[in-house]
Chains A and B, each alone.
Chain A
């Protein structure tokens, strides 16, 4: 057996199980879900069911044209979450990582690092419940304190109820990106930064000319994680607001869940929503990768 043949066999043996599992668990359900979105399948036997018919784009047309515009509200909320993740969590995580890695604060670095990362080790459901109990609900601790100060204080519902949710999302995941950035920043050779300082570089120039270009691929990776994570957000919102009030905090995943599992099931619509979610995710990730390429080329 030649070395090349041996390599090919080893490669096949090692890769095939993973590929098969991927095809079975990820690829097939995704493709099958796309197929089902074009049918009227709404429960019961799938294979050999003569009642299942192709209905074309009916579910998509319904989704895009229904008068309540639930899809657009959900999409808008998802895009807000993407924006908070990409333009909030990542820059903030980057800055915090830079401050810690450059030792710009001298005392309590370990404590700050732990505190910022801590929300990531708590389940999103628990965080949602805690925020409700302590801050958001009419009988929260925050409301009790408010009433202690002003007995006439009344609970007022935010007319933009997505804002508290966005705040929690920003608080919760910033630490995750901070840790990723920090790990990579610590791999930058300190001698390069020392040399720049000797040459008279300011902290701003060190950040923009040395650290940022090195970190481009990490920023792209984090952006992809943030986008995909934002589009599948479900647990936190389900626990905090359940999509309400008046559906104003509904996101696509919640819209899909409601279509499939609340009241009478509407599987064609749920499959159509999930297909659109995958498409949006793919488009946003391609855009992010292209932007990453442009920036890394500029950096070179």
Chain B
């Protein structure tokens, strides 16, 4: 026992001396970082990413050793939960501004990157929304986002429309007028995979609510200045009911799995498709297989925009979209000194211009947070170029409901949007239930 103790002390002494010696050489000090990376290895560009993003960083920073753990989907979140519970979170980790990463933010397990961002003048290069602490669940800048997500894209299939002599609708009235024409030819008007419990509120209703309620409506609700029984909110809900009644949105959409949407739309089942901007990546060519759901030559027949102007009474503005800070990278709150600097260097690289440009090209992101990337210089497919041009098609951004509101509040909204389609709830019922859910949630805070 005594022997082991002596040997351990001796080993510790040697380690301390080595550390002191290397510390004297300043920037040459070797730092090791544990990184938890979210990646779908079957996705387009995944293999290329390992070379372009990670190998390049290793070569440029020989003093930083990155030990990366790659995970995807639920196993990733399970790992984060397990590491958080054990108090062994990695040094750098991929994360969301809220949702499944909420615990990381609200428990302050992530470093506040605000001071570092201010020190390095990141506001010169990044969109203001990603530096805004109120956009993240903890109310501080727990992560640096690599993009901005627009949760509504309205894709018009001109192959279908021209087959029946139509052009993409610019207003809701035009859309309604197209329903019988499309139906007679055996096409659906809008295809939207609404079966899952988040899609309707995220990809359609957030935009609609914003147009009826106005900018900053969520702050009014949270502060109590307005509530969900507000006539404007009920009118927004009623508009969704109108969409069902007009046949623009079919009841069958409630039985379509989220994963089935792109496949069905690419086979010309409908004239229009509604989804988030991230979904365009599903249509383009997969670099690893060379296969695309919509081949580049067909992609010129698809026009990407936001939901048409809603020309019904009560709408405050049109040409708007629902935007939220995208995914990004955070740093373990415990990190200090050299290790923190190394982690910050890595995060800035992962969210920097080169990597964002790469991800833009491979479809990993659609709306980069780095300002001034020249889309035209990139070898993008037609649908990617259309998407890159999306921001020019709207002037106002309103919130995505599942951002500022807890799931116990947005779930009744999504359930209610579905229930109105089946006919089991009215707009007033949904508004009342949502307000009660909010009141109930507030009591627990």
A242 — which chain B residues lie within 8 A by C-beta? 195-197, 257
Chain B residues 425 to 444 lying within 8 A of chain A, measured CB to CB, are 425, 433, 436-437, 440, 444
Q: Is the CB of A263 within 8 A of B418?
A: no
Q: Is the CB of B411 within 8 A of A247?
A: yes
Contact pick for A245, options B103, B107, B254, B440, CB 8 Å: B254
Q: Is the CB of A156 within 8 A of B251?
A: yes
Closest residue of chain B to A41, judged by CB? B85
B264 adjacent to chain A (CB < 8 Å): yes
Q: Is the CB of A68 within 8 A of B415?
A: yes
Chain A residues 103 to 154 lying within 8 A of chain B, measured CB to CB, are 132, 136-139, 154
- Assembled-state Cα–Cα distance A258/B100 (Å): 11
Q: Is the CB of A263 within 8 A of B100?
A: yes
A93 adjacent to chain B (CB < 8 Å): no
A243 adjacent to chain B (CB < 8 Å): yes
B406 — which chain A residues lie within 8 A by C-beta? 263-264
Contact pick for A136, options B74, B196, B255, B433, CB 8 Å: B255
A149 CB to nearest B CB, Å: 15
Q: Is the CB of A263 within 8 A of B255?
A: no
- Assembled-state Cα–Cα distance A246/B77 (Å): 26
B412 — which chain A residues lie within 8 A by C-beta? 67-68
Q: Assess A46 versus B85: contact at CB under 8 Å? Given A247-B411, A247-B415.
A: yes
Q: Is the CB of A138 within 8 A of B252?
A: yes
A139 — which chain B residues lie within 8 A by C-beta? 256, 260, 264, 269
A229 — which chain B residues lie within 8 A by C-beta? none
B300 — which chain A residues lie within 8 A by C-beta? none
B401 CB to nearest A CB, Å: 11
A252 CB to nearest B CB, Å: 16
Closest residue of chain B to A58, judged by CB? B444
A43 adjacent to chain B (CB < 8 Å): yes
B407 CB to nearest A CB, Å: 3
Closest residue of chain B to A260, judged by CB? B81
- Assembled-state Cα–Cα distance A238/B380 (Å): 37
Contact pick for B424, options A241, A246, A262, CB 8 Å: A246
A236 CB to nearest B CB, Å: 15
- Assembled-state Cα–Cα distance A66/B407 (Å): 13
- Assembled-state Cα–Cα distance A261/B74 (Å): 9
B84 adjacent to chain A (CB < 8 Å): yes
B81 — which chain A residues lie within 8 A by C-beta? 43, 265
A241 — which chain B residues lie within 8 A by C-beta? 195
- Assembled-state Cα–Cα distance A284/B194 (Å): 36
Contact pick for B254, options A51, A244, A262, A265, CB 8 Å: A244
Interface secondary structure of B, over-half rule? helix
B419 adjacent to chain A (CB < 8 Å): yes
Q: Assess A67 versus B433: contact at CB under 8 Å? Given A42-B103, A264-B406.
A: yes
Q: Is the CB of B419 within 8 A of A246?
A: yes
Chain A residues 248 to 300 lying within 8 A of chain B, measured CB to CB, are 248, 258, 261-266
- Assembled-state Cα–Cα distance A67/B32 (Å): 50
A247 CB to nearest B CB, Å: 5
- Assembled-state Cα–Cα distance A136/B103 (Å): 37
B109 adjacent to chain A (CB < 8 Å): yes
Q: Is the CB of B84 within 8 A of A155?
A: no
- Assembled-state Cα–Cα distance A156/B253 (Å): 11
- Assembled-state Cα–Cα distance A215/B252 (Å): 46
Q: Assess A45 versus B85: contact at CB under 8 Å? Given A136-B255, A263-B406.
A: yes
Contact pick for A246, options B137, B415, B440, CB 8 Å: B415
Which of A58, A156, A264 lies at the interface centre, i.e. has the most chain B CB atoms within 10 A of its CB?
A264
- Assembled-state Cα–Cα distance A139/B264 (Å): 9
B165 adjacent to chain A (CB < 8 Å): no
B195 — which chain A residues lie within 8 A by C-beta? 241-242, 244-245
A83 CB to nearest B CB, Å: 22
B 242-268 to A, binary, CB cutoff 8 A, 1 in contact else 0? 000000001110111100100010000
B421 adjacent to chain A (CB < 8 Å): yes
- Assembled-state Cα–Cα distance A231/B416 (Å): 26
Q: Assess A66 versus B85: contact at CB under 8 Å? Given A159-B423, A261-B100.
A: no
B85 — which chain A residues lie within 8 A by C-beta? 43-46
B406 CB to nearest A CB, Å: 6
Q: Is the CB of A264 within 8 A of B421?
A: no
B426 CB to nearest A CB, Å: 13
B291 adjacent to chain A (CB < 8 Å): no
Q: Is the CB of B98 within 8 A of A264?
A: yes
- Assembled-state Cα–Cα distance A157/B420 (Å): 12
List 9 additional contacts besides A68-B433, A245-B422, A266-B408; criterion CB under 8 Å: A42-B106, A43-B103, A66-B408, A68-B412, A137-B255, A159-B423, A248-B424, A265-B102, A265-B103
- Contacts A/B (CB < 8 Å), 17 sampled: A43-B85, A45-B87, A67-B436, A68-B437, A138-B255, A138-B256, A139-B256, A157-B421, A242-B195, A242-B196, A245-B422, A247-B411, A262-B100, A263-B99, A263-B410, A264-B99, A265-B100
